[in-house]
Amino acid sequence: MSEISNAIATRDQGPAAQIEAYRDEYAALVPSHINVDQWVRLAAGAIRGNEDLMEAARNDIGVFLRELKTAARLGLEPGTEQFYLTARKSKAHGYALIIKGIVGYQGIVELIYRAGAVSSVIVEAVRANDTFSYVPGRDDRPIHEIDWFGGDRGPLVGVYAYAVMKDGAVSKVVVMNHKRVMEIKARSDSKNSQYSPWNTDEESMWLKSAIRQLAKWVPTSAEYKSEQLRAHAEAIGELASVASAPLPPQPSVLDDVDPDDEGPIEGELVD
């Protein structure tokens, strides 16, 4: 076999080629509105452009392909702020790098919109020089004023999230201060890793901390939405009032793949 043929054979066994090999399996998992060709290109491009991710994918291709399955089931774009692909040192792999997928805040926002119950989702970080006011029971939503042209907004001090439902009602408002976000960060096994979004994209992880809590109070899938609306209607005995009544806390499609208040578990990836 020529050197060129050998190079092609080696390349064809690589992670990007494996993604293509499992294309039909991913196509069966992604929601119908997802363009499978584009999804596969995103997944392959994410590792081709990052040496650490390519090394991690090669170290355990099975773990990598399994993480992509999670992104496919959720209908999120791998290698983006919807679904981060991160290289993680794994004790179970002799501290070699492996890939771990992390649902990002934009991915959770996408799931909420896709469920069809909300007209808008607001999730914003608050910085020291912003003006912020919110009194539960008095205000239906926070008042957040930013001087966009005043220079440095200062360090992050908090984050909030809420949704406006299709009928105009405002969901539960989630407000988190610095201490609360740091408690969530402390639970992440990846917090000290140079590859973690906590260190590469800190503000996005603050936003995720808030939107992940909001996901308890608004539907994240059409299936859960219909089930919860029906159960809620039966509980209050008035179907017509379901639209204007706030939904109770509910299951989320994120519960299995992105446990609430838990960071990625280093080296212990469970199907």
- Looking at per-residue pLDDT, the higher value among 190 and 134 belongs to 134
Confidence of residue 12 (pLDDT cuts 50, 70, 90): low
Q: Say how many C-beta atoms besides its own lie within 10 A of residue 219's C-beta.
A: 27
Higher pLDDT, 251 or 113: 113
Q: What is the pLDDT of residue 195?
A: 76
- Distance of alpha carbon 43 from alpha carbon 20, whole angstroms: 10
Interval 123-167: pLDDT, tens: 999 999 999 999 999 999 999 999 999 889 999 999 999 999 999
What is the spatial distance between Cα 61 and Cα 66, in angstroms, rounded to a whole number? 8
Higher-confidence residue of 267 and 78: namely: 78
DSSP assignment, residue 268?
Answer: -
Amino acid present at 222: A
| C-alpha angle 265-266-271 in degrees, rounded to nearest 5 | 55
> Is residue 38 within 8 Å of 81, Cβ to Cβ?
no
Q: How far is CA 66 from CA 70, 151, 171, in A?
A: 7, 44, 34
DSSP E strand boundaries for the chain: 83-90, 96-103, 118-127, 131-133, 143-145, 156-165, 174-177
Taken in order 263, 268, 269, 270, the sign of the CA dihedral is negative
Is there a contact between 53 and 63 (Cβ–Cβ < 8 Å)?
Answer: no
Burial of 134 (0-12, 13-18, 19+ CB in 10 A): middle
Residue 187 identity (one-letter amino acid):
R
For residue 123, which amino acid is it? V
Q: Residue 194 contacts by C-beta under 8 Å, 6 or more apart in sequence?
A: 200
List pLDDT tens digits, range 68-109.
999 999 999 999 999 999 998 888 899 899 999 999 999 999
Distance, in Å, from the CA atom of 265 to the CA atom of 268, rounded to the nearest integer, reads: 6
The pLDDT score that the predictor gives to residue 9 is 43
The DSSP secondary structure of 80-107, one letter per residue, reads SSSEEEEEEEEGGGTTEEEEEEEE-HHH
Q: Is the pLDDT of residue 30 over 80?
A: yes
pLDDT at 190: 72
Nearest residue to 62 (alpha-carbon basis) of 104, 22, 23, 95 = 22
Q: Which residue has the higher pLDDT, 191 or 220?
A: 220
DSSP conformation class of 1: -
Identify the band that residue 45 occupies on the pLDDT scale cut at 50, 70 and 90: very high
Task: Say if residues 204 and 82 touch (Cβ distance below 8 Å).
Answer: no
Q: If you average pLDDT over residues 22-42, what whole number do you get?
A: 93
The yes-or-no verdict on residue 235 having pLDDT over 90 is: no
Q: Does an H or E element contain 43, and which?
A: helix 36-48
What CA–CA distance (Å, rounded) separates 41 from 36?
9
Q: How high is the pLDDT of residue 231? A: 54
pLDDT at 218: 92
- Helices 61-74, 36-48: axis angle to 10 degrees equals 140
Mean pLDDT of the chain: 83
